[in-house]
Amino acid sequence: MADVANKYGENVEGKFYVDDQCIDCDLCRETAPANFKRNDDGGHSFVYKEPESPEEEALCKEAMEGCPVEAIGNDGG
């Protein structure tokens, strides 16, 4: 389960985030490309834009549920 204490600093403020368990598998970027990007230097994903519509929210939740290492969190904020 993702831990907000270990989230990457480049995540934008908001309820969704990626923590240091990310293995750079690309699933979240494929599922919700409007919200997740890759840090090329660090080799991990991060949330660069919080969802702004019900559709984006659903895709972020789908990415979170599909993450093989549970590196995506939702603190409900």
Q: Where are the chain's structural domains?
A: 4-74
What SS3 state is found at 60? helix
| Domain spanning 4-74, CATH class | alpha beta
- Phi, psi dihedrals of residue 52, rounded to the nearest 5°: -115, 5
Stated pTM of the model: 0.95
Instruction: Please state the rounded mean pLDDT for residues 23-27.
Output: 98
DSSP state of 26: S
Query: Under a CB-based contact definition with an 8 Å cutoff, are residues 2 and 15 in contact?
Result: no
List strand residue ranges (DSSP E) for 1-77, in order: 16-18, 36-39, 44-47, 72-74
- Tokens coding 26: 């690309």
Instruction: Please state the rounded mean pLDDT for residues 18-47.
Output: 98
